[in-house]
Amino acid sequence: MSPRTRGGSWETDDVLARVAARLEAGRGGCRFIYVRKEVVEEPELGPEVGQIGLHELLVERLRARGITRLYRFQYEAYRAIMAGRDVFLVSGAATGKTEAFIIPILDRALKEGARSTIIYPTKALARDQVARFWGYAVPFLLRMDVLDGDTPTKERERIYESPPHVLITNPDMIHFSMARSHRFRRLLRGVSTVVLDEAHVYEGSFGSHVRMILERLRAYLGEELLFVASSATIGNPSELGELLFDRPVQVVEGRPRRRGIAYHVLVSSGTLSRWTVAARLMRLLASLGLRCLAFVDSQQMCEVVARIAKREGANVMVHRAGLLPEERHDVEAKLKAGELDGVVATPTLELGIDIGLLDAVVMAAPPPSYARYLQRAGRAGRRDRPGYIFTVLADDPIDAYYEREPERFFEQELTPVVFEPYNEEIAKIHLVAMLLERGGRMRLEAVPRGWEKALELCFHEGYAIEKGEWLLITRRARREFGFYSLRSAGREVRIIEMGTGRRVGSRSLPMALHDLHPGAIYLHQGRTYEVQELDLEHYAAYVRRVPDMPFYTRPIYEVGVSELELTARRKADGVEVAYGSGQITKTVLGYTIRHIGGDEEEAGVLPEAPLVLLDQPISWSFRTKLLVARYGEAAQPEAIHALEHALIHAARPVVGAGLSDLGGVSFPTGHIIIYDATPGGSGLSKLLFRRLERAHRIAHDILANCDCEDGCPRCVYDPFCGNNNRTLSRRGALRLAEAVLAGQIHASLGLEVLGEGGLP
Ligand SMILES: [Zn+2]
Ligand SMILES: [Zn+2]
């Protein structure tokens, strides 16, 4: 690791020196503030492949591919899997992680005819990997097949007729086909090992879905089913393994990066916005002949960055959720063929992109967690050339926190990957799936323990009825089962172009309320649409194509909290805090219009943006997990609102949350509620409940170290504030935070006084 910032060995790197010089020569004052050089050595070697009892045909294949020895961690994984233990394997991209599980699986297939299923989070990843697996297959003896939505009928028939040793698929395929196809269920019969590759992706609602799919698999295939998870470096492999598999796992650790040199650069955006700087970096890298992948937090900002980069002359495209599959394939194909300088992607797709390694990675903002930073950084660096990783720090409380002391950025702990194991909104969908698997009925006593809330929801939504000892599925459930995506906890809203009736994407609730209210600007592959109508009864938003314009919108909304059910209580620095669930009602009242593209984009969070009120407010209600804490008997609205924002910002590094993963409401009674933005809960507010003391300290640091008058984007502003960042006082919040750290807050939780009038 190099000493801090300028004058370190990085200046001898030609590429980096040129990027720094050109960046600083431009207007706006953006510059490198910290460079860290990372050198990763070859990992420790283990035994020769011929000496560990592998089937001789497999030894031949490995040698033919140049593998004569295993790494020590691969050998450790081999022994654990052969001994029939559930294993959680952690190692970075391109470090030999795949071999660590494929070798034991093929060995068992050759020796015992054992059958396995390998699950990838996306189709693209599965198809990418299978080519690699084939290199180890023994012709005529071992069969491996990909089965997904794109598998042609003839091929599918062949797979059903004679099941392969290794079936490669994805969670969606298992979820829907288990429920709907008896041939698929028969195909799975006899599978003894299930591998989840890239398991760190299974967090939040996706994690809850996959846990329930695994429960269904175990119910169908039996308790002796062996589980193997393989993941990039994360903070809590044993905890995540237990969350996913519902039983203890053996952890095997590899290494975080493959061998080579990487430069990690923190870039200050100066007076420019992070979007402009990310786009400019893409342009500079392209001019040096380097291919790059840029990560941008939100779908709409992804479009914005691509638009600015194109305007500056870089040939880039957007790759994000909400695009149609054929559009995504097109982007992947063009990048592989060298027709693009780069791709701007949303984090939800950080692993789904089948484009291998690139020269550089640009992050428009620090990722929600350090583990995810390392995962994205792992994509940079091709063929023995250094990898370059740029992270833009701009006007944001957490960015400012790292800008003050850049070492803190690289010394972050790896936050745990979490999800809510019993998210009732999600369990509801899997209960319907279980009914479908059993021909539409099951005994009430067969409903898994802990799923009582999900059962209630099924009755409430008309998905199931009770008849004696039996639970029966309804026609409505059969019809609506396919409307639920594994990528969210709520229903998806379809986005439909008026006039053509063409579908131009989808968005899950409740985020759809933010992006698809009437009047919202919706960007899609560079095209601009204006939302005309949001029909929540039919889960559809109708949009109209409009001329491209340099604006985007942010909603003004209210949040109501009701029906609190608290299950745990504690004190954090003397502050009473409780955790549980509650009903959140979001009502969009209007929206602000913000400018993009100029250097004033950060005006996006300034209160002066023009405000438009809706004729008819739009509401959406969902149940989720939350924490409630009380910071005094009564509070100035400006102070408690600013403290709420500071705590939500502080929670980001503490629990590894993204900006929009947690929502908050503050009350003049001194209460602050912080809730999971995912219906049914994401596990984040639960983790924050446990770690609130750390959040208090970071919030205090943010509030104490800003040099603004009384509130700005670098301390207490929040781009997702429903109140347009009005009624905020940094100084008032600082006084509260000081009282917290001094142990002077003793108010009792007093939920009976928690009323209306909270500020989101
Ligand atoms: Zn400030
Ligand atoms: Zn607010």
* CA 421 to ligand 2 centroid distance, Å: 29
Q: Which two tokens stand for residue 649?
A: 């910002």
Give pLDDT, residue 7: 42
Instruction: Among the bound ligands, name the one nearest to the CA of residue 558.
Output: 2
* CA 395 to ligand 1 centroid distance, Å: 9
- For residue 128, pLDDT over 80 is answered with no
* CA 710 to ligand 1 centroid distance, Å: 6
* CA 398 to ligand 1 centroid distance, Å: 12
In the chain, % helix, strand, coil (3-state, to 5) comes to 40, 25, 35
* CA 730 to ligand 2 centroid distance, Å: 13
- CB atoms near residue 131 (< 10 Å): 9
* CA 164 to ligand 1 centroid distance, Å: 60
Distance CA 437, CA 186 (A): 11
Give pLDDT, residue 335: 85
Instruction: Among the bound ligands, name the one nearest to the CA of residue 734.
Output: 1
Q: What is the mean pLDDT of residues 639-652?
A: 97
Instruction: Among the bound ligands, name the one nearest to the CA of residue 559.
Output: 2
Give pLDDT, residue 105: 96
Give pLDDT, residue 346: 86
Cα–Cα distances (Å) from 21 to 32, 308, 691, in that order, read 10, 21, 42
| DSSP code, position 67 | -
Q: Which two tokens stand for residue 18?
A: 């040129």
Which of 90-94, 162-166, 278-282 is predicted least confidently?
90-94
* CA 506 to ligand 2 centroid distance, Å: 27
* CA 682 to ligand 2 centroid distance, Å: 21
User: What is the three-class DSSP state of 637?
Assistant: helix
Which residues, listed in sequence order, are joined to residue 552 by a DSSP beta bridge?
594
Verdict on whether the full-model pTM lies above 0.85? yes
Segments making up each domain of the chain, as ranges: 4-41+259-410, 45-253, 424-483, 558-753
The per-residue pLDDT for range 511-527, each reduced to its tens digit, is 899 999 999 999 887 78
* CA 114 to ligand 2 centroid distance, Å: 56
CB-based contact 282:306 (threshold 8 Å): no
Same fold, 4-41+259-410 and 45-253: yes
Tell me which CATH code domain 45-253 carries.
3.40.50.300
b/e 421-460 (16+ beta carbons within 10 angstroms → b): bbbbbbbbbbbbbbbbbbeeebeeeebbeebebbbebbee
How do 527-535 and 540-546 pair as beta strands? antiparallel
| DSSP code, position 484 | B
Give pLDDT, residue 179: 97
User: What is the three-class DSSP state of 108?
Assistant: helix
Instruction: Among the bound ligands, name the one nearest to the CA of residue 645.
Output: 2
* CA 642 to ligand 2 centroid distance, Å: 7
b/e 248-277 (16+ beta carbons within 10 angstroms → b): ebbbbebbbbbebbbbbbbbbbbebbbbbb
* CA 718 to ligand 2 centroid distance, Å: 7
Which is nearest to 460 in space by CA: 499, 431, 422, 487? 431
- Count of residues in the chain: 760
* CA 230 to ligand 1 centroid distance, Å: 42
Which is nearest to 222 in space by CA: 214, 230, 234? 214
* CA 399 to ligand 1 centroid distance, Å: 12
The per-residue pLDDT for range 267-287, each reduced to its tens digit, is 999 989 899 999 999 999 999
* CA 712 to ligand 1 centroid distance, Å: 4
Instruction: Among the bound ligands, name the one nearest to the CA of residue 672.
Output: 2
Which is nearest to 675 in space by CA: 624, 620, 621? 624
* CA 663 to ligand 2 centroid distance, Å: 9
* CA 2 to ligand 1 centroid distance, Å: 32
Instruction: Among the bound ligands, name the one nearest to the CA of residue 642.
Output: 2
Instruction: Among the bound ligands, name the one nearest to the CA of residue 649.
Output: 2
What DSSP letter does each residue of 276-341 carry, written as one string? HHHHHHHHHHHHTT--EEEE-SSHHHHHHHHHHHHHTT--EEEE-TTS-HHHHHHHHHHHHTT--S
Distance CA 127, CA 148 (A): 9
DSSP element (H, E) containing 503: strand 503-508
Which is nearest to 245 in space by CA: 278, 276, 212? 212
- For residue 213, pLDDT over 60 is answered with yes
* CA 748 to ligand 2 centroid distance, Å: 24
- For residue 494, pLDDT over 80 is answered with yes
* CA 717 to ligand 2 centroid distance, Å: 8
Give pLDDT, residue 355: 67
The per-residue pLDDT for range 31-47, each reduced to its tens digit, is 999 999 998 888 889 99
- Tell me what percent of the residues of the chain surpass a pLDDT of 90: 71
Give pLDDT, residue 603: 38
Which is nearest to 61 in space by CA: 130, 138, 132, 114? 138
Give pLDDT, residue 354: 58
Q: CA quadruple 44, 50, 54, 59: dihedral positive or negative? A: positive
* CA 400 to ligand 1 centroid distance, Å: 10
The per-residue pLDDT for range 536-575, each reduced to its tens digit, is 999 999 999 999 877 888 899 999 999 999 999 999 999 9
The per-residue pLDDT for range 294-315, each reduced to its tens digit, is 999 887 788 889 988 998 889 9
* CA 729 to ligand 1 centroid distance, Å: 9
Question: What kind of fold does domain 424-483 have according to CATH?
Answer: Arc Repressor Mutant, subunit A (1.10.10)
* CA 646 to ligand 2 centroid distance, Å: 10
* CA 509 to ligand 1 centroid distance, Å: 32
* CA 704 to ligand 1 centroid distance, Å: 9
Distance CA 351, CA 341 (A): 19
Which is nearest to 199 in space by CA: 155, 252, 153? 252
Query: Confidence class of residue 597 from pLDDT cuts 50, 70 and 90?
Result: low
Instruction: Among the bound ligands, name the one nearest to the CA of residue 397.
Output: 1
Sequence-ordered list of residues with C-beta below 8 angstroms from that of 405, at least 6 positions apart, any chain: none
* CA 603 to ligand 1 centroid distance, Å: 14
Instruction: Among the bound ligands, name the one nearest to the CA of residue 728.
Output: 2
* CA 551 to ligand 1 centroid distance, Å: 25
Give pLDDT, residue 323: 76
* CA 62 to ligand 1 centroid distance, Å: 58
Distance CA 695, CA 654 (A): 6
What DSSP letter does each residue of 151-166 carry, written as one string? S-HHHHHHHHHS--SE
CB-based contact 419:208 (threshold 8 Å): yes
Q: Which two tokens stand for residue 424?
A: 């009732």
Cα–Cα distances (Å) from 428 to 164, 333, 425, 453, 682, in that order, read 32, 38, 5, 8, 16
CB-based contact 89:100 (threshold 8 Å): yes
Give pLDDT, residue 552: 85
* CA 709 to ligand 1 centroid distance, Å: 7
CB-based contact 727:687 (threshold 8 Å): no
- CA 33 to chain CA mean position, Å: 27
* CA 758 to ligand 2 centroid distance, Å: 10
The per-residue pLDDT for range 246-273, each reduced to its tens digit, is 999 999 999 877 778 999 999 999 989 8
Distance CA 281, CA 28 (A): 13
* CA 641 to ligand 1 centroid distance, Å: 14
DSSP element (H, E) containing 622: strand 611-630
Which is nearest to 420 in space by CA: 59, 678, 744? 678
Instruction: Among the bound ligands, name the one nearest to the CA of residue 707.
Output: 1
- For residue 601, pLDDT over 50 is answered with no
* CA 396 to ligand 2 centroid distance, Å: 15
- In the chain, what is the straight-line distance between the N-terminal and C-terminal CA atoms, in Å? 42
Query: Confidence class of residue 122 from pLDDT cuts 50, 70 and 90?
Result: confident
* CA 741 to ligand 1 centroid distance, Å: 20
Instruction: Among the bound ligands, name the one nearest to the CA of residue 648.
Output: 2
- For residue 606, pLDDT over 50 is answered with no
Question: What kind of fold does domain 4-41+259-410 have according to CATH?
Answer: Rossmann fold (3.40.50)
* CA 112 to ligand 1 centroid distance, Å: 65
| DSSP code, position 224 | T
The per-residue pLDDT for range 716-726, each reduced to its tens digit, is 999 899 999 99
Give pLDDT, residue 573: 97
* CA 649 to ligand 1 centroid distance, Å: 13
- For residue 2, pLDDT over 50 is answered with no
Looking up tokens 């001094």, which residue turns up? 742
Query: Confidence class of residue 379 from pLDDT cuts 50, 70 and 90?
Result: confident
DSSP element (H, E) containing 104: helix 97-112
Which is nearest to 3 in space by CA: 412, 361, 406, 367? 406
The per-residue pLDDT for range 342-362, each reduced to its tens digit, is 999 987 666 655 566 689 999
- Average pLDDT over the chain reads 90
- For residue 146, pLDDT over 90 is answered with yes
* CA 597 to ligand 2 centroid distance, Å: 25
Sequence-ordered list of residues with C-beta below 8 angstroms from that of 692, at least 6 positions apart, any chain: 572, 573, 575, 577, 627, 629
- For residue 241, pLDDT over 60 is answered with yes
Instruction: Among the bound ligands, name the one nearest to the CA of residue 605.
Output: 2
Query: Confidence class of residue 150 from pLDDT cuts 50, 70 and 90?
Result: confident
Sequence-ordered list of residues with C-beta below 8 angstroms from that of 532, at least 6 positions apart, any chain: 498, 518, 542, 543, 544
| Cis peptide bond prior to 653, omega within 30° of 0 | no
Instruction: Among the bound ligands, name the one nearest to the CA of residue 664.
Output: 2
* CA 720 to ligand 1 centroid distance, Å: 17
Q: Is 725 left (phi over 0), alpha (psi -120 to 50) or beta?
A: left
Distance CA 231, CA 245 (A): 14
User: What is the three-class DSSP state of 680?
Assistant: coil
